[in-house]
Amino acid sequence: MQSHALSLQTNGSPTNDSKVITIGVSGPSSGGKTTTSRYLRSILPNSTLIHQDDFYLPEDQLPLDPKTGLANWDCPEAIDFTTMINTLTFVKEKGYFPAEFDSLEDKNPVGSNTSSTPIPDQVLKEMRDQIMSQISSDVDRTNLKFVILDGFLLYVNEQLRNTIDIKFFLTAPYQILKERRESRAGYATLEGYWIDPPGYFDDIVWPNYKACNEPFVKLTEAMEAGEETGVYNKESPRSEPMTQGVDIISSGSGSIYAMVKTVSNLLGERLSDLTRLPASLS
Enzyme catalytic residues: 53
> What does the alpha-carbon distance between residue 133 and residue 23 come to, in Å, rounded to a whole number?
18
Beta carbons within 8 Å of 128's beta carbon, 6+ residues apart: 43, 44, 45
Nearest in space to 264 (alpha carbons), one of 149, 119, 123, 127: 127
> What does the alpha-carbon distance between residue 163 and residue 89 come to, in Å, rounded to a whole number?
8
Decide if 96 contacts 8 (C-beta within 8 A).
yes
Whole-number Cα distances in Å, 254 to 107, 173, 227: 26, 11, 7
Nearest in space to 77 (alpha carbons), one of 51, 108, 55: 55
